[in-house]
Structure 1
Amino acid sequence: MTLLDTYLVILAVASFANGQFCEHQWEGKFADHKVDGVPYLQAVDNVAPPPLEIRPLIVTGPSDNRVDLIFLGDGYTEAEKEKFFSDALFLAENVTDGQTFNDVAPLMNWWAGFSPSAESGVGVGGQPLDTVYGLYRDGTELRGVYYDKPEVARAACQSTDACDYPILLGNDPYYGGLGGSFTVITSSTVNGPAILRHELGHSIINVGEEYDGATGYFGVNSARTTSSVPWTQWYSEPETEPRVQRSNMPIQAYTWSLLNTTTAYSSTFTSAGTYDNYLVQFSISGVPESSDLLVQLDGVDLKWEVFQGIELDRYIYNLPFNASLAPGEHRLTFTLLNPDREGTAQLCNLEVLEYGDENERFAPELGYYGLYPTYSDRNGTTYRPTNNDCLMRWTYTVDFCSACIEGLWWALLRPLSLIDQVDQVAQASGVTNITLELLPVAQFRDVPRPSEAYTIEWFNAADSSPLSQWTNQTSALISQSIAEVDVVVRFWTAQVKIDRDGVLVQEERIAVKRCGTETSYPRRSLVEN
């Protein structure tokens, strides 16, 4: 019996109880929260941390002025230690190399911390294995992965300075994850990077979902009404807004149904017939070949093709059709053709969306920002910024939308200083050379970007008079008549249109060191970011 067979053998019971839940269920006890007024990850338990062997993966600067993310392995035995470090490096490189977190990568460090587990893998049916953090699936279906030992994970995080965002990495080859206090992912080569991006969106940016059928919609990418939109600065046609993009969701369900060759799975829905085109979306697992499954709408083959290399893992498919659905009832049918797939082939979810008509256009193009309806598990409506631009909606997109990227900059810069370090060299002549080392963005990236820039202003702190000769210079020669200087560093990026919390400005007062003195002057920030 394969690993996936084991996962699915008790599905009939588990899916009955869980069938209509949203994807990852990271609300409730798994959401980030406080303990007696203290942030969860900072609360102290009398729990000893597991021994951690920590290795750097991608390090851009000192931990005291970077956001540190660390993979904490679960379900990796001592013999699988190198597999863990390899899995962690693959994931870190995948989400930072030219995509997703590439733009903000200079603000982040990535680490991996290994602790051996007694058993290999991730638990199923709500039962964790004998592992460090107790990761498990609620049932057997490929969706959320939860943790049974949060106090151990928290102790592990608190035992190192390299843990602002802990990522529990389960030794499991299939789709699954969770956001919240701890980001949880698996080592799936296809889905691991996609779920990591998505769950870190929850954990870092503090946003909810964008896909349909969930329960949590909030943050910079969500609006409950057309008059409370947090991304108006990104509208493509602000003069026409608010204008809701016309769409409809006639059916959406998380089925978690095992497929068999005896009886096809089918579901009916009704269309008003007043839309110009439609999309059929579904996800399946345990189906590695296109010839294994027939997908039909009203008896017509939809020509579904399997994602190459997915094997038995889960994958989400979008099938768009540039045609109108006729008014009336329709039937969507999934027929398993290969009896060898019985016991593993599973229909996870299905959805049909209809778009636009001749009078009210739906803008499907990438890069268009407006008001797009999102439909919850109870068919409630909120709004999102784009159609499918954002990985918070379409999991296999590798980038965030502009609203989320802006929120990502806010979240990462908030605890950091734009100034990494201040160095002073006092010369015998009485002049002091003060040099600033800034976060390596803008002109200080390995490859400078025209869409980013620093500006630097120097002032005599005594009377606020500008030291104009050093404007936009990271070094300034300060005469002996000046006891303190103020420096104002501003960072500009086209990815942030509104500096909501003042995170793009750093003001620093520096006591000037003199030749022959032993005094070390700490930096004194004039503005707390």
Structure 2
Amino acid sequence: MNSLKSLLVGAATIRIVLGQFCEHQWSGKFAAHDVDGVPYLRARQNTPAPPLEIQPLIVSGPTSNRVNFLFLGDGYTEDEKDKFFVDALYLANNVTDGQTFVDVTPLMNFWAGFSPSAESGVGTYGTPRDTVYGLYRDGTELRGLYYDKPQVARAACQSTDTCDYPILLGNDPFYGGLGGTFTVTTASPNSGPAVLRHELGHSIIGVGEEYDGGEVYEGVNAARTPTTAPWTQWFTDASAEPKVERSVMPIQAYPWTLLNVSQAWSQKFSSAGTYATHLLQVSVSGMTASEDLRVDIDGEDVGWEINPAVGVDRYIYNIDIDEPLAPGEHEITVTLLNEELEGTAQLCNLEVLEYGSEEEFNFDPTYHGLYPTFSSSNRTTYRPTNDLCLMRSTYTGNFCSACIEGLWISLLSSVSLVDNVTQIAAADGSTNVTLELLPLAQFRQGPYPRAEGYEITWYGADEGVVLAEYANSTSALIAADTEEFGVEVRFWTEQVRVDEDDVLVFKERYAVV
């Protein structure tokens, strides 16, 4: 409790920051640019790299043909080196073990690179501590976690072949993160994995938000109009689209304010009264029990209860209320009931969403259609699902179909389906050629619940001659006196329906050696 109270002291002076989860600096892989136009992570610079002690966490193949994610520890002193490696392994396991990135883990390697910091932890009020990469909070709010030394982080990434996507891991037990060129998260055991999943979505797939109250809505999961959705291939009922699921957001607020028992926080809003149900979303930090806080709408307790697994960390609560709001003015009131939490308990953000009837709004979590999203300026865009995707609700742990397809496309665009090609000459002059493919489909370790496979075609000396006897085989016998041969490998998965750039295809011709 004392560490959070120290963090939040004076939080009333912080500026209001829009957005619900974590800020992101817009970029996909190598997409952020310096002023000279050179991709940021590849740009040459004179800043020396910090010393890195690198350990493997999850390794599925050679660095040269995998997408490599490197945790770079910030705010870990020399005495906390073991803690850093434990924290990094926990995060890597959490996002790949049965959820989120489990489908694409064979394309990924995770590493951890330790550099000692002079001070432990992360900075606040815009002031970094004496750490390797200078992570800090802009105020004290449990939200964005920024870096002061991007050139050092870039040098660290450039110094090793284990870094395609750098992940700055702050030695801090509370909620915070950032997406973009450098993905940022914390060592919070509860919010750290959730934030990492969400921010990697920004960094890898290059998508914007799906939650309300943000600023960037673009990519494979966002549409500016109902007729321009890039996920039409994933519509659950294409014959019913474009049908916008009916909802509205009458209030969103970002107080980022410390609560006290002497005066409740309240704000009024208006409803048209034409919707069937509503939801209150509220995020708070510093709470210890359900008895610490009361949340009311029009004087009626909405039944807020603490998530005991979170402790005093920030958490986002969704409270469904299965009845309509009456037309006219309403008031939300948040009251702190535990005086001992003054100086610690914080109201972060809240919003109310109203929903149409069952005929007007589809609550099926797997339904893919057109759901309105409301920005910080109340501008409406559209997303594929209600609350399925972690780009909207980080605690779900799952991507919607549009995002998982984008994830496959992004990762496969950076690797080859073929890890290695081996040629062995036989005594009769023929050559036995063997392909080593990415460990997908039948080459995965253990059972896999989704449909996927490889289609392999071999070609002889003439590119138009198919060696049909070796169809879908990873080896072929090339006849003597043949100077070259060809091979085409096509990977398919039920999670990809549109591959405009043919990143799921490998086609190459080889000289017989």
Give the TM-score band, short-chain normalised. over 0.9
Task: Tell me the SS of whatever aligns to 1:466.
Answer: coil
Task: Tell me the SS of whatever aligns to 2:242.
Answer: coil
Are 2:438 and 1:431 equivalent residues in the alignment?
A: no
* Aligned residue identity for 2:323: A
Give me the whole-angstrom Cα distance separating, in 1, the residues matched to 2:387 and 2:226: 19
Counterpart residue number, 1:385 = 384
* Aligned residue identity for 1:52: L
Alignment TM-score, normalising by the size of structure 2: 0.97
| Aligned counterparts, 1:307-346, within 5 A | 307-346=307-346
Task: Tell me the SS of whatever aligns to 1:144.
Answer: coil
Counterpart residue number, 1:408 = 407
Counterpart residue number, 1:231 = 231
Give me the whole-angstrom Cα distance separating, in 2, the residues matched to 1:492 and 1:357: 39
Counterpart residue number, 2:16 = 18
- 8 Å CA contact retained: 1:442, 1:448: no
* Aligned residue identity for 1:425: I
- 8 Å CA contact retained: 2:23, 2:143: no
Per-residue Cα deviation, 1:250-275 (whole angstroms, up to 9, x for no partner): 00011101100000111111111110
Task: Tell me the SS of whatever aligns to 2:372.
Answer: strand
Counterpart residue number, 2:40 = 40
Give me the whole-angstrom Cα distance separating, in 2, the residues matched to 1:277 and 1:69: 43
Are 2:366 and 1:362 equivalent residues in the alignment?
A: no
Alignment TM-score, normalising by the size of structure 1: 0.94
| Aligned counterparts, 1:65-464, within 5 A | 65-357=65-357, 360-447=359-446, 449=448, 451-464=451-464
Q: Which stretch shifts more, 149-158 or 453-462?
A: 453-462
Shift of 1:240: 1.1
Give me the whole-angstrom Cα distance separating, in 2, the residues matched to 1:249 and 1:109: 41
Closer, same or farther: CA 265–472 of 1 in aligned 2, 3 Å: same
- 8 Å CA contact retained: 2:435, 2:475: yes
- 8 Å CA contact retained: 1:22, 1:377: no
- 8 Å CA contact retained: 2:20, 2:211: no
- 8 Å CA contact retained: 2:435, 2:474: yes
Give me the whole-angstrom Cα distance separating, in 1, the residues matched to 2:117 and 2:31: 25
Give me the whole-angstrom Cα distance separating, in 2, the residues matched to 1:45 and 1:206: 25
Q: Which stretch shifts more, 504-513 or 237-246?
A: 504-513
- 8 Å CA contact retained: 2:294, 2:336: yes
Shift of 1:463: 4.8
Counterpart residue number, 1:525 = none
Per-residue Cα deviation, 1:378-433 (whole angstroms, up to 9, x for no partner): 00000000000000001101110000000000000001110000011101111211
Give me the whole-angstrom Cα distance separating, in 2, the residues matched to 1:161 and 1:19: 37
- 8 Å CA contact retained: 2:256, 2:347: yes
Task: Tell me the SS of whatever aligns to 1:55.
Answer: strand
Give me the whole-angstrom Cα distance separating, in 1, the residues matched to 2:159 and 2:263: 54
- 8 Å CA contact retained: 2:24, 2:199: no
- 8 Å CA contact retained: 2:20, 2:349: no
Give me the whole-angstrom Cα distance separating, in 2, the residues matched to 1:132 and 1:112: 15
Task: Tell me the SS of whatever aligns to 1:255.
Answer: coil
Per-residue Cα deviation, 1:146-204 (whole angstroms, up to 9, x for no partner): 00000000000000000000000000000000001100000000000000000000000
Counterpart residue number, 2:479 = 479
Shift of 1:27: 3.6
Closer, same or farther: CA 312–437 of 1 in aligned 2, 3 Å: same
Task: Tell me the SS of whatever aligns to 1:51.
Answer: coil
Per-residue Cα deviation, 1:60-80 (whole angstroms, up to 9, x for no partner): 000110000010000000000
- 8 Å CA contact retained: 2:18, 2:214: no
Per-residue Cα deviation, 1:325-354 (whole angstroms, up to 9, x for no partner): 111111111110000000000000000000
Give me the whole-angstrom Cα distance separating, in 1, the residues matched to 2:460 and 2:350: 65
Unpaired runs of at least 5, structure 1: 514-529
- 8 Å CA contact retained: 2:260, 2:342: yes
Give the CA RMSD over aligned residues: 1.5
Give me the whole-angstrom Cα distance separating, in 2, the residues matched to 1:174 and 1:329: 36
- 8 Å CA contact retained: 2:174, 2:313: yes
Give me the whole-angstrom Cα distance separating, in 2, the residues matched to 1:82 and 1:150: 24
- 8 Å CA contact retained: 1:27, 1:216: no
Per-residue Cα deviation, 1:492-518 (whole angstroms, up to 9, x for no partner): 1000000121111100112122xxxxx
- 8 Å CA contact retained: 1:392, 1:400: yes
Per-residue Cα deviation, 1:297-348 (whole angstroms, up to 9, x for no partner): 1111111110012111000000011111111111111110000000000000
- 8 Å CA contact retained: 1:274, 1:357: no
Per-residue Cα deviation, 1:14-59 (whole angstroms, up to 9, x for no partner): 1xx2344664333479995212222100011101100000000000
Are 2:470 and 1:470 equivalent residues in the alignment?
A: yes
Give me the whole-angstrom Cα distance separating, in 1, the residues matched to 2:280 and 2:4: 26
* Aligned residue identity for 2:262: T
Task: Tell me the SS of whatever aligns to 2:146.
Answer: strand
Counterpart residue number, 1:505 = 505
Give me the whole-angstrom Cα distance separating, in 1, the residues matched to 2:463 and 2:339: 84
* Aligned residue identity for 2:169: L
Moved over 2 A (4+): 17-32, 447-450
- 8 Å CA contact retained: 2:126, 2:139: yes
Task: Tell me the SS of whatever aligns to 1:54.
Answer: strand
